[in-house]
Structure 1
Amino acid sequence: MDRLDAMRLFTRIVELGSFTAAADDLNLPRATVTHSIKRLETRLGTQLLRRTTRRVQTTRDGEAYYSHCVRLLAEMDAVETDFREANVQPRGRLRIDVPAQMGRLWLIPALPAFFARYPLLELDIGTGDHFVDLLREGVDCVLRVGKLPDSGLVGRRVGMLEQLTVASTSYVRKHGAPQTLADLQHGHYAVNWTSPTTHRNEPLEFMVGRKRREVSMPGFVAVSGVEAYLACCEHGLGIAQFPRYRVAEALANGTLRQILPAMPPPSLPVTVLYPPHRQLPARLRVFVDWMVDVMSKQL
């Protein structure tokens, strides 16, 4: 048994906690497993495993050696996979989820070129802003905007979205345009955004120099959906905050007006998220790389 095979055998014993289980898993005779580990310990000059009546446990040296084995074997697998897939087209189906308007404006128009390059891939595209449990729902990756909770997922930042504070033209005619943050507390209303996770109304946020300021305002309505949030703002129900791309058309046709431009909301991070993999599948790797490239050119 060569050194790589001995390392793989050792890691399986540690992970399964048993010589017998590792032998069955690797289809090896129990005697071969025992002999190989003894030879490995002799070569390294230290005891790696401590046998008990119930379970095999690592010694301190064994724990350190296991960590090195996992890293080296993962690197070797990655190298072999790169060579194996170099001349093989990725194939299969991917389930992804992206915000609806980002998909319509930026990702979907770029898909013909993607499929020309990867004709054996298929995409199942969901468009929404709701929380997606990737592992439970079988989704391969999502594109998300804003601060993300600690979920154990792998994230790749693709850029930052500029935000604006806006109100409808009819709102400004009725209530006036606030000139300072203090003005927001006198005779002004917000379309309040209700967080889908905390179920609380979120304050408006402003950057005053390098400092972030929060302003909570009264409002006639509170919503938790992006389309309803925009519709309420366009119909004069209050002040709201959006990424620039989301309101560009309404600003251009005069439906909405930017207010307090010197104190904009903080920019929002845009991130591609996918489950952690010991070895990222080729079809997912090429799609994530493509999506990062497309989005980084827009932001």
Structure 2
Amino acid sequence: MEAFVLAVKTGSFVATSVSLNTSPQMVTKYIAFLEKHLGLKLLNRTTRSQHLTEFGKQYYQRCLLILSEINETKILAQQFIDEPNGRLRISAPVSFGHYNLIPVISRFMKRYPKINIDLQLNDRYVDMVKEDFDMVFRIGQLNDSGLIGRKLNDYQLIFAASPAYLAQNGIPAVPEEIKHHQCLIYQYVNRSKNDYVWPFTVNGKVINISISGALQTNDTAALAVAAVEGLGITMLPQSMLAESIKQNKLLPILQNFLPPARPVHMLYTADRQRLPKMKMFIELVVNAMS
């Protein structure tokens, strides 16, 4: 069709061949193929001139429309490549989502305003395929799921308390002293209140020490606020407490006995990683978190 349209516009098979970077003989074959395929003559040619048949005139106009639509489709495809758009459905743990992922998502959405993000935050195990997520973030050791995993920066829990609490109750120097303090407890489902322990690293080994405290909650953000208010010692992600520590609202303690850092992975399926919106988001997350 391109050869036919150019031949009509230029009035020359030679000029057409130059535009298409081919030979005049190939242009002749293209036109002949079209005429054989259609069963009708498109051009009447003599040694000195060529002109459209009655059918050729109408076919030429249709070819102009078709080629224009093809070009528009190419432009649309290029826009998908150049500027990601559409929806990304993502699952992540609550605290990680608040303090690690949202800043990255913010940069991504400002860079690509045609993207919509559906971010679901919860601490339960999410079946990515069954629940139709494009991507999930997991903290801890991975099971063999058949998904593609990109390892990100480790997730570090730290211990902290307010200056007022520590001034009144003293600063624990070793993990065993935590037993004498008010600990702000993250309340797991179906867990006895007398069955809470915190992990500490002592001489390269992890030991679990029982803790107790008057305040328990299933919300980590509430624990962070309670710590700032001086209600006790908390164990929460470093990223979550960083701003309060910077403002001296909290002081990190027992820094030589921190729990082992937990691995973080970004998971997705092989077929979805080829989508432009996924490729761009994966690249941004990897650059920001690894």
What's the TM-score once normalised by structure 2's chain length? 0.60
**Partners of 1:249 and 1:243 in 2: CA distance:** 12
Q: Secondary structure at the match of 1:125?
A: strand
Shift of 1:199: 4.3
The aligned amino acid for 1:159 is N
Q: Give the aligned partner of residue 294 of structure 1.
A: 288
Shift of 1:110: 4.7
Over the matched positions of the two proteins, sequence identity in percent amounts to: 26
2:202 aligned residue (202, 208, 229): 208
**Which has more radius of gyration?**
2
- Unaligned ranges ≥5, structure 1: 1-84
Q: Give the aligned partner of residue 48 of structure 2.
A: none
Q: Give the aligned partner of residue 252 of structure 2.
A: 258
1:271 aligned residue (265, 274, 280): 265
Q: Assess, with a 3 A threshold, how the Cα gap between structure 1 residues 254 and 262 changes in structure 2: closer, same or farther.
A: same
Shift of 1:155: 2.6
**Partners of 1:173 and 1:104 in 2: CA distance:** 35
- Output aligned runs, 1:215-234, within 5 Å: 215-234=209-228
What do residues 27-75 of structure 1 show as CA deviations (whole Å, max 9, x unaligned)?
Answer: xxxxxxxxxxxxxxxxxxxxxxxxxxxxxxxxxxxxxxxxxxxxxxxxx
2:164 aligned residue (149, 156, 170): 170
- Output aligned runs, 1:92-111, within 5 Å: 92-98=86-92, 99-111=97-109
2:183 aligned residue (183, 190, 197): 190
The CA RMSD over aligned residues, in Å, is 3.0
Shift of 1:104: 3.6
**Partners of 1:199 and 1:150 in 2: CA distance:** 27
Q: Give the aligned partner of residue 159 of structure 1.
A: 153
Alignment length (residue pairs): 204
Q: Assess, with a 3 A threshold, how the Cα gap between structure 1 residues 133 and 237 changes in structure 2: closer, same or farther.
A: farther
Shift of 1:166: 0.6
Judge which range, 141-150 or 210-219, deviates more. 141-150
The aligned amino acid for 1:105 is P
- Output aligned runs, 1:53-68, within 5 Å: none
* Cα contact 2:272–2:278 (8 A) shared by 1: no
